[in-house]
Amino acid sequence: VSRSRPATMADVARLAGVSTATVSRVLSGTRAVDPEMAERVTAAAVRLDYRINLLGRGLRLTSTSTVGLVLPDLRNPFFSTLGQHLARAFADSEVDLLLFSADDSLATELRGVRSFLGRQVDALVLIPVHEERSAEAVALAASSVRTVQLDRRVPGTTASYVGVSNRDGIALVRDHLTAAADLDAQPVTYLGAAPDSSSAHERLDAVRRGFGADLDCLLGDFSAAWGREAAARVLASGATRGTLVCAADVIAAGAVAHLLSAGRRVPEDFRVTGFDGVGAELTHPSLTTVRQPVEAMAEAIRDLVVSEEDASARWFGPTLVVGGTSPA
Amino acid sequence: VSRSRPATMADVARLAGVSTATVSRVLSGTRAVDPEMAERVTAAAVRLDYRINLLGRGLRLTSTSTVGLVLPDLRNPFFSTLGQHLARAFADSEVDLLLFSADDSLATELRGVRSFLGRQVDALVLIPVHEERSAEAVALAASSVRTVQLDRRVPGTTASYVGVSNRDGIALVRDHLTAAADLDAQPVTYLGAAPDSSSAHERLDAVRRGFGADLDCLLGDFSAAWGREAAARVLASGATRGTLVCAADVIAAGAVAHLLSAGRRVPEDFRVTGFDGVGAELTHPSLTTVRQPVEAMAEAIRDLVVSEEDASARWFGPTLVVGGTSPA
DNA sequence: CTGTTAGCGCATTCAA
DNA sequence: TTGAATGCGCTAACAG
């Protein structure tokens, strides 16, 4: 492993017997160059194992052809799925997508935004950690570069937004459940997340609107552990049957797992629904859930990022996926 | 949203009435500065909303205080868990961890390595896509910066490696299964992944050594969909009972889901074991699995990255987690 | 303790 | 078409 000083354009120019300007033109292909010279330059570049220094390039140009994505937590399968689709959406383009995990911390999120801004990214995609307290990070980003909020948003910012209509998603769940059976016989409990993020907030509002303001709501976080605990609380209250509307698939999966381990039947005793549409194939019974069109959302982000348009908000329509945790 | 030209150190220096060198010293805190001047500088920086340009800084210095992580696929929960723990391990340090998803493509993986190298990262962490065909990417990385392979490795490269002992992990599974019951009555099938990655390769070798070379092996990929299909094939062969040793938790979860949907009992008819130790709380019965010490592995990576030591390989010891998919 | 100077690597003027 | 010169923003030597 030889770690000698990396070759620069000046080295290549010297070996090829040309100027650095010519090397730059050959390697970037921006301008016509004499074929014979071009040949000499590329040969010299290969021989010296030349690799461009993007710091120098980025410093000289305005653009770095880079987009940063700051997300709250990679372990949340919905976020990692979003990240994966976004990466794929950018795979064919010239721009590199770089990711940074905020580890569910506001301070780390802000650090990630600062880091990307310092690296002169062309655009920033943010899944804000908190509906209100991420305002500083979002505002900072939006004041410097094209910024798009994904899935979650901070109200009052000028940044664009791409997400799903949570109200429509919950309505799909409600219509499905009411069509299939009598909700009075299987009373509804909402297993949600504390309204720290806009998605948790909107889903909570939507279930209150859709199922009645006096709906039983248990609020925790987006995790399977919370799903298990919430289901345990439902059973502890004495319920022997019911309908558990969950704010996320991970919550629903945890809830189902606990119900089954407690000897309850799903969907006979308890019906359960999820939200997001990720990882439905992992469990049995498979989850009835609201699928978000993540691929289309990722492409919308990509288009928004390269466009020159003003900030805009776009809500995608979710679809219902009927699984084995609710009556067919 | 004012997008005027960002302030530079020269702007701050002008407003504060000092030289750029003083601004640099104040803002980076590298040298003692007259308190009164420092005050003027910070005030000017705040007033101009100054933010450092890391491209200029990185170009001037040798180091960028950045580590890149290139991983094959974010949707694989083991990789995203690894990424999350790595992010957390770096959260307290001065260096930023940036992620890049190769989308399971060799070309994209190489692009990610090139991109990070061009950005002058101080170190690179790689989870190679392919045991042989990622050799170019790993070699390129290792020839330029401190490089650590994680979880998967490419034999013959000089880069360091951090992973788990797959042989020990499979041995834990075998000992557990043989201690609990008669394997002849519940014949073993291995639901594995094609040996494209070192982890898939090593686990396949380990089960052949541990359970006999004539063991039935079904090889696909690391996905729940494959787990479902493989379980379907086992049932199609006429088996009514058996032991399914899986190469990953996602495979095991898919297999269990299919078995249950086909009316088989787990663990009475079929026992199932996983590998990795991620997402065991998502399913019922909970998975019996081999847990990888991801937190310790992430810290080892961090220490390896900042150290000046030569390349080294480190295998961590896995532990068995007994769940509900195998006899207690 | 502070300012001046120089240069990291690159792409683009401007002249030839 | 090509080369020489310039400057992107920053920090480190050096001299004061």
B285 vs B308: which has the higher pLDDT: B285
Q: Is B52 strand, coil or helix?
A: coil
Contact assignment for B144 to A285 by CB distance below 8 Å: no
Question: What's the confidence (pLDDT) of residue B42?
Answer: 96
Is residue B182 pLDDT above 80, yes or no? no
Contact assignment for A73 to B59 by CB distance below 8 Å: no
Q: Cα separation of A67 and A266, whole Å?
A: 44
Is residue A145 pLDDT above 90, yes or no? yes
For residue B5, how many C-alpha atoms fall within 13 Å in the half-sphere facing its CB?
6
What six digits make up the tokens of A32? 């016509």
Q: Cα separation of A97 and B286, whole Å?
A: 36
Q: Cα separation of B65 and B71, whole Å?
A: 20
| Range B25-30 average pLDDT | 93
Name residue B210's amino acid. G
What six digits make up the tokens of A246? 């969950």
Residue in B closest to A323 by C-alpha: B261
| A45 band by pLDDT with thresholds 50, 70 and 90 | very high
A31 vs B103: which has the higher pLDDT: B103
Instruction: State which H helix or E strand residue B171 sits in.
Output: helix B166-180
Contact assignment for B81 to A74 by CB distance below 8 Å: yes
Chain length of chain A: 328
**Hey, which residues 162-221 in chain B have their CB within 8 Å of chain A?**
none
| A327 band by pLDDT with thresholds 50, 70 and 90 | confident
**Hey, which residues 270-299 in chain A have their CB within 8 Å of chain B?**
279, 281-286
Question: What's the confidence (pLDDT) of residue B3?
Answer: 57
| Range A101-119 average pLDDT | 98
pLDDT tens by residue, B72-93 = 999 999 999 999 999 999 999 9
If you search the block for the tokens 């090889």, which residue do you land on? B219
Q: What is the CA radius of gyration of chain A?
A: 25
Question: What's the confidence (pLDDT) of residue A1?
Answer: 39
What six digits make up the tokens of A20? 């650095």
Q: How many CB atoms lie within 10 A of CB B209?
A: 14
Q: Cα separation of B220 and A305, whole Å?
A: 37
Q: Does B74 touch chain A if contact means CB atoms closer than 8 Å?
A: yes
B229 CA: distance to closest CA in chain A (Å): 11
Q: Cα separation of B162 and B316, whole Å?
A: 8
Q: Does A48 touch chain B if contact means CB atoms closer than 8 Å?
A: no
Strands B146-150 and B123-126: parallel
Question: What's the confidence (pLDDT) of residue A286?
Answer: 96
Mutate to test the interface with A, among B284, B286, B295, B310 (most CBs of A within 10 A): B284
Is residue B56 pLDDT above 60, yes or no? yes
Q: Does the N-terminal peptide bond of residue B72 adopt cis geometry, omega within 30 degrees of 0?
A: no
Question: What's the confidence (pLDDT) of residue B312?
Answer: 92
If you search the block for the tokens 């022997």, which residue do you land on? A240
| Range B163-187 average pLDDT | 90
Dihedral of alpha carbons A298, A175, A271, A215, sign = positive
Is residue B17 pLDDT above 50, yes or no? yes
A160 CA: distance to closest CA in chain B (Å): 13
Contact assignment for A324 to B260 by CB distance below 8 Å: no
Write the DSSP symbol of residue B320.
E
Is residue B2 pLDDT above 70, yes or no? no
Q: What value does the mean pLDDT of chain A take?
A: 95
Question: What's the confidence (pLDDT) of residue A179?
Answer: 87
If you search the block for the tokens 């919370």, which residue do you land on? A226
Nearest to B98 among A99, A258, A285 (CB): A99
For chain B, first and last CA: distance in Å? 62
| A70 band by pLDDT with thresholds 50, 70 and 90 | very high
Nearest to A77 among B58, B77, B228 (CB): B77
pLDDT tens by residue, B95-146 = 999 999 999 999 999 999 999 999 999 999 999 999 999 999 999 999 999 9
Is residue B196 pLDDT above 90, yes or no? yes
Q: Does B59 touch chain A if contact means CB atoms closer than 8 Å?
A: yes
| B4 band by pLDDT with thresholds 50, 70 and 90 | confident
Q: Does the N-terminal peptide bond of residue B267 adopt cis geometry, omega within 30 degrees of 0?
A: yes
Buried (b) or exposed (e) across B272-293, using 16+ Cβ within 10 A?
A: bbbbbbbbbbbbbbbbbbbbbb
If you search the block for the tokens 């290969």, which residue do you land on? A46
A86 CA: distance to closest CA in chain B (Å): 10
Is residue B266 pLDDT above 90, yes or no? yes
Is residue B1 pLDDT above 50, yes or no? no
